[in-house]
Amino acid sequence: MRIFQNKFFIICLCIALVLTIVPSVFAVMGYKSLAKNIVGTITMPVRWVATVISDGFAGWGKYFGNMKALNEENKALIEENAALKEQLKEAELIEKENERLRDYLDMKNQYPSFSMEEGMVISHSSGNYITNFTINRGTLHGIAVNMPVVTKEGIVGYVVEVGLNWCMVSTLIETATSVGAYIPRSEVVGIVSGDYSMRQEGTCKIGYIDASADVVVGDTVYSSGTGSVYPANLKIGTVTAIEVDEYNRTLVATVTPAVDFSELKWVMVITGYEMGGI
């Protein structure tokens, strides 16, 4: 048979016979401890290899078990993290809603004679600075052309076009916009208007101020209430530069609006108010 012609098989058979016969002979001769010692010494490498292999399989089993547990724990943490993010997002939305309502109530408390309709910005003009935008309020909500539009920070602009459930608002920096204005510190009165060359910078101007008028950078500008669009005492902005008009020798003050038009999400349309002025 071929199996008996295999050298490896023959060697293993001989080793097995030696391990079987020699210890038996020593045991019969009364040398059991010696026989046990010989068998232990000879089989030690085999037992060591068997132990290493066994430990290896046990280690791999433990490794894969730990990996499975870690994967399950990681999955649970990811789900928990997603849930916490969702809760945080909802909390932020609620806080923004509460802040918006607080602003609205603050305006109502500060100007009790105002009737106001809140609206959300749904589109706006393109470019670095917004000159007009559209909100989701129209004739169905009592909105009409020329109604002033404001936020808690100050004047935004006025309504220039109205649909059933929308209206377009022109901001302070648009060239067609003008507001009767005054500076409380020095009681200087003027007209704030948009200027084509200034709107790219997001500013407007007070023109035709007397050359001797007391106007300085940092002065706060408010609506005077003169005219038929804006009520009095609404903040317009701050004087950020002053120069002399060389043609008529009057002062021209640059005004940076109090409202950041690029950040507008919600505005209030003043649908009615008691007339009055400075």
- 176: CB partners within 8 A, 6+ apart: 160, 170, 194
- Residue 28: the pLDDT is 55
Exposed e or buried b per residue across 79-97, where buried means at least 16 C-beta atoms within 10 angstroms of its C-beta: eeeeeeeeeeeeeeeeeee
Q: pTM for this one?
A: 0.66
**pLDDT at residue 128, as a whole number:** 60
pLDDT at 176 (0 to 100): 83
Phi and psi (nearest 5°) for 198? -105, -20
107 has pLDDT over 90: no
Q: Are 132 and 168 in contact (CB under 8 A)?
A: yes
**Mean pLDDT confidence for 192-217:** 90
Q: What is the mean pLDDT of the chain?
A: 80
Average of per-residue pLDDT across 78-104: 69
Distance CA 68, CA 261 (A): 54
Q: Which parts of 175-234 fold into alpha helices (H)?
A: 196-199
The label of the residue with tokens 């923004």 reads 96
Residue boundaries of the structural domains of the chain = 2-60, 115-272
Higher pLDDT, 212 or 67: 212
Six-digit token string for 62? 């433990």
Is the model more confident about 82 or about 232?
Answer: 232
78-82, 226-230, 231-235: the lowest-pLDDT one? 78-82
Which of the residue ranges 66-70, 105-109, 172-176, 238-242 would you say has the lowest mean pLDDT?
A: 66-70
**Res 4 pLDDT > 60:** no
What share of the chain has pLDDT > 70, as a percent? 68
pLDDT tens-digit series, residues 73-82: 777 778 777 7
Distance of CA 182 to the CA centre of its chain: 38
> Residues 169, 156: contact at Cβ < 8 Å?
yes
Q: Which of residues 152 and 99 earns the better pLDDT score?
A: 152
Q: Has residue 270 got a pLDDT over 90? A: yes
pLDDT one-digit tens code per residue, 138-172:
999 999 999 999 999 999 999 999 999 999 999 99
Domain 115-272 has CATH 2.40.10.340: yes
Task: State the pLDDT at residue 125.
Answer: 76
